[in-house]
Chains A and B, each alone.
Chain A
């Protein structure tokens, strides 16, 4: 039997490696199951994977869950400013009742999670360093995620929406002054060539995005117990690897930017609190207004120590 896994990332990306680990483990278990990986959006475009997954037209994916926030507003909590402080905190959040609630919603769409994982990110700017909300005032910023756009707008930044393929040129031409995305994306966009200052994810970070490996639930239920066990074993191995490597990604991106002579800024706990206070007033508020049961979910997520 063959399962098709689609994702948007290049074959050199950590998230492709996660898919490979599961595929290799399943193949090694010799349970008559193969996973065929379609990387780089060669089967479905980045944002178009959730619906086919929930219908069983696609079997598996590694997917930033907030992309499906238009279908399930609750998923917007998986990319919300200030909700996750660092990778250890992300791991605790993954094991918390909050994530069980998310899983229940996924199950309603006939989807289940195999591998949980968060990736962090930061800011790159063409001008002054961005550590506090005041720094982005008057800047034109492209942010990854609705919650971040709402918060940055509240901070007085202008939000520009454009495809990721145009960001490099836009930064080069000063159409964009700053960019907010994941550590690995900064490197793959080659922004170290342009940026004047980089604010990476370090001891405290603002930007964490939940990017799990998902499988269609009916497809999973239709597998033999041996096949299911092999998948789960592979997933467990991948999840441990994911957490370790996610931390390294941040450090590697800092290295790349430092080598390119870009100034590295650091966000303090105090800066973080200022952003979070702003998010309370903007993105959290918007979220609660749009998601049914939003306040309860938000409280659950915030209660994770």
Chain B
């Protein structure tokens, strides 16, 4: 059978099986097993566990659970609340100070967490009730936290950047740096919208400054000191010649666990177990998808689908920006349904040769891809951040959360467009720190 026809069949079956409600990783395994059995015989089926093992057999994957532990440890303390309170006291003169502080806290927290749901939960637990109390519209409050939480995978460290780095064999240190400026740019766009939406809702009163004394402003500062220590410690380990990027993740996890236990007095074994349980749950889920996607990629390559599809697209000879538009549309749709890790792993083998041929920078593209994945986190039906908001703010309806998040999706699309016109936003910092690629 022609590999392209086979590819179409795989696409159809994958969609049908994933929509059946089976878990994403298992769905990928079912499709792989079925196609390998029919088109390659039992010999490939026998190897599935070995391929599964081989896909986990890499030191780099260590950084995924480690960066998840980092976020979970901090999220379990009141560190997120401290951070946002400090920002609020200092940003009091800024209109919409509270929502701006929340978004800023999300961005800073993202610098210590590799995953988006953790960022969302850490800031939202305190931030959403506070915003509601002070009269911000529910939709703005929920949407800002849902969207701000997605910065967790754009501002380093980032689990999805690690997965991209593994799949494309690009430098993870460089990928991390590429996300910094776009991450803060996106934060700025979110803030602009949040202020505008609050103003438009007529609750202008909440935008007016609340007064804090200088004493209040300074007494909060020691409470955000641990954050700075952790962030600087991780940066020093990563870019200062102590450890490789993957090893740095372990340093970060130790620093954050230590900070949670010593500074925030998380002595209780039950509290420590909660952190470990939550991070085990998230990292096993992600690594299972990674390994299953590896089996899926083997099936696609073995049946020559990956290679044929890449050749076919390369032969289309469309304008490179049209190509980029189509790729974005495709990623956007895939992101609606699938968790970021699955999208990256399933598409990277096909997309990379195409991007290479069209001379797109792989680090710049990683940022575009990540913003696409961020959109997926706040759109139904599978939007991890939406579920998080739903569980931390049960008094806000899912509908309100969705409607409130929608304009932030607009901000993200705008960010992608800006990045297409000014690629330097992503590539400037890595070039500055690590030399031109």
Interface residues of A (CB under 8 A from B): 4, 36, 38, 42-45, 48, 51-52, 55-57, 162-163, 165-166, 168-170, 172-175, 193
Contacts and interface: CB of A to CB of B under 8 A. Distances in A.
Query: 5 nearest interchain CB pairs?
Result: A173-B241, A57-B43, A48-B54, A166-B244, A174-B241
Contact of B302 (A43, A48, A170): A43
Contacts of B304: 36
B245 A166 contact: yes
A51 B349 CA distance: 24
Contact of A175 (B47, B243, B298, B301): B243
B58 interface: yes
10 contacts: A42-B349, A45-B54, A48-B50, A55-B43, A57-B43, A165-B60, A169-B245, A170-B244, A173-B239, A175-B243
Contacts of B58: 163
Contacts of A169: 171, 173, 244-245
B36 to A, nearest CB: 11
A162 B244 contact: yes
Interface string B236-271: 000111111110000000000000000000000000
Given A42-B349, A43-B298, A43-B302, A175 B241 contact: yes
Interface string B284-308: 0000000000000010011010110
A162 B59 contact: yes
Nearest to A164: B169
A49 B243 CA distance: 31
A57 B244 contact: no
B431 interface: no
Contacts, number: 57
Contacts of A4: 302
B44 interface: yes
Given A52-B47, A175-B243, 20 more contacts: A4-B302, A36-B304, A43-B298, A43-B301, A45-B54, A55-B46, A56-B43, A57-B43, A57-B47, A162-B59, A163-B59, A163-B60, A165-B60, A166-B59, A166-B244, A169-B171, A169-B173, A169-B244, A170-B244, A173-B239
Contacts of A51: 50
B244 A38 contact: no
Interface string B25-60: 000000000000000000110110011001001111
Nearest to A193: B435
Contacts of B173: 169
A168 B170 CA distance: 11
A42 B242 contact: no
A139 to B, nearest CB: 15
Interface of B: 43-44, 46-47, 50-51, 54, 57-60, 169, 171, 173, 239-246, 298, 301-302, 304, 306-307, 349, 434-435
A21 B236 CA distance: 49
A28 to B, nearest CB: 22
Q: Is the interface of B mostly helix, strand, loop or mixed?
A: helix
Contacts of A174: 241
Nearest to B302: A43
A44 B47 CA distance: 11
A45 B291 CA distance: 13
A173 B173 CA distance: 11
A163 to B, nearest CB: 6
A146 to B, nearest CB: 18
Contacts of B307: 42
Contacts of B242: 173, 175
A38 B301 CA distance: 8
A48 B294 CA distance: 14
B167 to A, nearest CB: 12
A73 to B, nearest CB: 21
Given A38-B301, A45-B54, A48-B50, A173 B240 contact: yes
Nearest to B169: A165
Nearest to A45: B54
A60 to B, nearest CB: 14
B244 A175 contact: yes
B245 A57 contact: no
A61 to B, nearest CB: 14
Contact of A42 (B43, B46, B246, B301): B301
Nearest to A167: B244
Give the interface centre of A36, A45, A57 by most chain B CB atoms within 10 Å.
A57
A42 B302 CA distance: 9
Contacts of B171: 165, 168-169
Nearest to B53: A48
Contacts of A42: 301, 306-307, 349
